[in-house]
Amino acid sequence: MDFYGVELSSRLLLGTARYPSPKILEAAIRASRTEIITVSLRREGGEQRAGQAFWSFIRELGVRILPNTAGCHSVKEAVTTAHMARELFGTTWIKLEVIGEADTLQPDVFGLVEAARILAEDGFDIFPYTTEDLVVAERLLEAGCRVLMPWGAPIGSARGLNNLFGLRAMRAHFPDVPLVIDAGLGVPSHAAAAMELGYDAVLLNTAIAEAGDPVRMAQAFALAVEGGRIAYAASPMEPRDMAAPSTPVVGKAHLT
């Protein structure tokens, strides 16, 4: 798998919020075998630089950081946060969020495209949190994005893949664009289903962080992602309207 020229073996991206403790977060990251974790700048902000201990802890894990503009509701706020993240984390990668609706945390797709265009011109490698809308996807690619991250369901909802038709259409319409399901996954079977659709990776946080045993759940998601990808590569059979016997009829003994 390739994101902006970086080759990765793991197809599971992990968020770092809401874990019971740093120790459990570290164990979950290792159990997931992820190579990319997202970090919100708000965890590092403040005049007292209170997040420095957390940042030092994250650096010791040896994984790639994908800073996140989580919680931004305007283009200006998202762009400013992205520039601060580049300075703090020393990376051009940015997970771009511009939230447009408070209850569902649905992206403001108009602001998202505008912010993506500004950041692409400033040299950022953008991972946009978007919907499965094909027109919006086209605009994001035109703005300079080379990865798309459509939601499966609202953030933290654990509802899985709400719009299978739309997600299938996006995969078919953009066969050569890396696609990552971002948000809404609740159990490993949701992740496996996303991979079976041909998506390149999944990103999740709450489903692992709020599980009764986050470390075991991280391991379960890692296995589900791997299994789903293998199944997709194996070209699974299509659904049928009628039954088809698995045992051949030819050569069957006939009693007289």
Name the one residue in this structure whose structure tokens are 């045993």.
213
- The annotation status of 224 as a binding-site residue, yes or no, is no
Instruction: Name the catalytic one among 23, 76, 95, 252.
Output: 95
By DSSP bridging, strand 6-7 and strand 2-3 are antiparallel
Q: How many CB atoms lie within 10 A of CB 203?
A: 26
- The annotation status of 156 as a binding-site residue, yes or no, is yes
Q: How big is the chain, counted in residues? A: 256
Distance CA 34, CA 228 (A): 16
Distance CA 160, CA 153 (A): 6
Classify residue 56 by burial, with Cβ atoms within 10 Å: 0-12, 13-18, 19+: exposed
- The annotation status of 162 as a binding-site residue, yes or no, is no
Distance CA 251, CA 119 (A): 67
Is residue 252 part of the annotated active site? The answer reads no
- The annotation status of 80 as a binding-site residue, yes or no, is no
By DSSP bridging, strand 93-96 and strand 36-40 are unpaired
Sign of CA dihedral 104, 150, 91, 75: negative
- The annotation status of 184 as a binding-site residue, yes or no, is yes
The C-alpha R_g of the chain, in whole angstroms, comes to 20
Structure tokens at 75: 């283009």
- Could you give the residue numbers annotated as active site? 95
- Write out the binding residues: 156, 183-184, 205-206
- Write out the binding residues for 1-deoxy-D-xylulose 5-phosphate: 156, 183-184, 205-206
